[in-house]
């Protein structure tokens, strides 16, 4: 890491120091976090250490410049987004590696949400009783 990059990272830290963001910056971040917690608390043998290892890998894989974007000032929202993207990547990897889901079905389902064929309304309580 160059000195310049280190200075950038330090600047990001200092910028964020005084900020307080005790809740989620975006709904999808809350969803990803809660999914993981529920899998852990209620799922059958969710291996937190395995999840953590994949989160460490995802953090490692993130280029340092992602934290200090050249195209704008770092913000809390940006830092949170990076963090929860790493979180999602770790969760996906774990679920795929443990054969809970397949990459194909995940890609297909994500495509349906992206296309608007499915919406978050399917998560609303009491909606569409025939869905489990």
Binding to another protein (CB under 8 A): which residues in 65-84?
65-67, 69, 71-72, 75-81, 83-84
Number of amino acids touching another protein (CB under 8 A): 86
Nearest distance in Å: CB 52, another protein: 6
- HEC secondary structure over 64-100: HHHHCCCCCCCCHHHHHHHHHHHHHHHHHHHHHHCCC
Task: CB nearer to another protein: give 2 or 52.
Answer: 52
Among 2, 3, 4, 20, binds another protein (CB under 8 A): 20
**What residues from 77 to 116 belong to the interface with another protein (CB under 8 A)?**
77-81, 83-86, 88-89, 91-93, 95-97, 100-101, 103, 105-107, 109-114
**What residues from 34 to 53 belong to the interface with another protein (CB under 8 A)?**
34-35, 37-44, 48-49, 52
> Which tokens belong to 94?
């774990």
Nearest distance in Å: CB 107, another protein: 5
> Which tokens belong to 42?
């209620």
27 backbone dihedrals φ, ψ, rounded to 5°? -55, -35
CA 101 – CA 54 distance, rounded (Å): 16
Question: Is 25 strand, coil or helix?
Answer: coil
């Amino acid at each position: 890491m160059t000195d310049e990059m280190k200075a950038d990272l330090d600047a990001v830290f200092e910028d964020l120091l005084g900020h307080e963001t005790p809740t989620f910056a975006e709904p999808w971040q809350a969803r990803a976090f809660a999914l993981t917690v529920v899998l852990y608390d209620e799922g059958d043998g969710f291996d937190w250490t395995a999840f953590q290892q994949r989160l460490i890998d995802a953090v490692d894989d993130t280029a340092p410049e992602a934290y200090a974007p050249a195209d704008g000032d770092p913000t809390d929202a940006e830092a949170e987004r990076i963090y929860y993207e790493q979180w999602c990547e770790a969760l996906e990897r774990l679920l795929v590696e443990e054969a809970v889901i397949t990459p194909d079905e995940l890609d297909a389902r994500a495509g349906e949400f992206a296309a608007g064929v499915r919406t978050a309304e399917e998560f609303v309580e009491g909606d569409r009783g025939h869905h489990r």
